Structure 1
Amino acid sequence: MAKSLADLKYFTFDVVGTLIDFEGGIKECLAGIAEEAGVSVDGEEALALYRAARYSGDAGLFPDDLVRVYMVIAPKLGLPAEVKFGERLRDSAGNWKGFADSADALRRLSKRYRLIAMTNARRWAFEHFSKELGNPFYAAFTADDTGTEKPDPAFFEQVFAFVGKEGASKDDILHVAQSQYHDIGISRQLGMTNCWIERRHAQKGYGGTIEPQEFTKPDYHFTSMAGLAEAAEASKAA
């Protein structure tokens, strides 16, 4: 049986894709470039091309790597293959929006739990994301801080060490994420209680996120952050 939400002390969060709508941000930026170039792009096709380019062997840290990614996908989308547009895509991360329910849900959860961000994004981008979300985090771990990216267990181990210094353990954590590949599968392997936020529940495919080799059934499953907040409040009130 899944551990009760009422018994947990920390909620750790994937940020990009779970709390921040990176797919919407990428599609909006590419659509703007396309309009200037007098062409049109299909958003889902763009995300599929992005996914293939992003997870290549020569990928860099996110979102800086979006410059390289753009140069790979631009010709396939009929967009101008110029570095300045790749830089525009990278810089657009500073304006990406949170999902409509993210900030309020985090505010509600922060009253009862210590919230920890775990993001493969670089620190400069995370600072923008955190501000967009209302700066709700008790602590934050970025790719710059850990020197690695999820699903590397080493990323998670650094978080375990952090809560360990506060007299807690991974058993006190709920890991919340939308990515089966980066978060849900590995959190299960590491023995964590996890929660899948299925952001693309009304859409086919995995969008801009790499498809996992196999699906991991989560301990908790919601299609929104609002659903998680409501369940956590109900658990605490019981």
Structure 2
Amino acid sequence: MTGGDVVNKLHEFRYLTFDVVGTLIDFEAGITGCLAAIGAETGVVVDGEAALGHYRAARYMPEATLFPDDLARVYGVIAPQLGLPQGEAQAARLRDSAAAWTPFPDSVEALARLGRHARLIAMTNARRWAFTHFAAALGEPFHAGFTPDETGTEKPDPAFFEQVFAFVEAEGGRRDQILHVAQSQYHDIGVSRHLGLANCWIERRHAQPGHGGTIASESFTKPDFHFTSLAALADALEASVTA
């Protein structure tokens, strides 16, 4: 955890905005689990970290479309690299697997705790159909949710954030009452700092090398808060209430 006097003020944030995929929902396990299941049917053993590396490269090709619909295209790119069978059925299977992706073990309980002290807002690059499944798996903790279907753009585009700011301000809130919580330096932490938001980096891959399925940021942004789990953020917020 880092950041001067702000460290003692977690309980003062009125809004907590969240990245969802990778911060609350374990998309890496969802993708590698689906690929492994497809491989098992044909006797192919899938190396999870290698698969995530191929996924990351494919996902950020210029022809990429909205997530997770784009997973069908991604499958067509990475299947030959992994020795997996190619076909529309397998591609659709990877895309549709998003509906069953599960939260990290601490997500549901930590969100429930955090929601007692602030309004929780989801900000996800996943399309609305997928977010509906994610929100249900997380226990429907959100005061509001924003997806590319509503915003017309994706993070790290500042325009995505600006629509959330407008929503908060319409409720009488202020930008300085928001803490943005996310695992991706590229999609969230860097741009939130550029926009003047307080931020909290949840370093989900702290015990693993590399970037997994998330694009690497060109530079590291030191966050205001830094935890390796969402539960640790909830602990810190509760401690700040009683400090």
TM-score normalised by length of structure 1: 0.99
> Partners in 1 of 2:174 and 2:210 — Cα distance?
34
CA contact (8 A) 1:13 1:176 kept: yes
Instruction: Output aligned runs, 1:218-237, within 5 Å.
Output: 218-237=223-242
**Which of 37, 41, 46 lines up with 1:36 in the alignment?**
41
Instruction: Output aligned runs, 1:95-134, within 5 Å.
Output: 95-134=100-139
**1:56 partnered with 2:61:** yes
In the TM superposition, structure 1's runs of 4+ consecutive aligned residues that sit over 3 Å from their partners are none
Q: Give the structure 2 partner of residue 193 of structure 1.
A: 198
**1:141 partnered with 2:146:** yes
CA-to-partner distance for each residue in 1:31-62, whole Å, 9 max, x for gaps? 00000111111000000000000011010000
Structure 1 residue 166, shift from structure 2 partner? 1.2
Q: Which amino acid aligns with 2:36?
A: A
**Which of 46, 70, 83 lines up with 1:78 in the alignment?**
83
Structure 1 residue 2, shift from structure 2 partner? 5.3
**1:207 partnered with 2:208:** no
Q: Secondary structure at the match of 1:174?
A: strand
**Which of 181, 184, 193 lines up with 1:176 in the alignment?**
181
TM-score normalised by length of structure 2: 0.97
> Partners in 1 of 2:5 and 2:80 — Cα distance?
47
CA contact (8 A) 1:198 1:221 kept: yes
CA-to-partner distance for each residue in 1:84-118, whole Å, 9 max, x for gaps? 10100011001000000000000001111000000
> Partners in 1 of 2:188 and 2:160 — Cα distance?
11
The 1:191–1:2 alpha-carbon spacing in structure 2 relative to 1, beyond 3 Å, is: farther
> Across the two proteins, how many residue pairs are aligned to each other?
238
- Which segments of 5 or more consecutive residues in structure 1 lack a partner in the other structure? none
Between the aligned residues of both structures, percent identity stands at 67
Q: Secondary structure at the match of 2:120?
A: strand
Q: Give the structure 2 partner of residue 93 of structure 1.
A: 98
> Partners in 1 of 2:25 and 2:116 — Cα distance?
21
CA contact (8 A) 1:66 1:90 kept: yes
> Partners in 2 of 1:236 and 1:166 — Cα distance?
24
- Which segments of 5 or more consecutive residues in structure 2 lack a partner in the other structure? none
Q: Secondary structure at the match of 1:39?
A: coil
Q: Which amino acid aligns with 2:104?
A: F
After superposition, the CA RMSD in angstroms is 0.7
Q: Which amino acid aligns with 1:107?
A: A
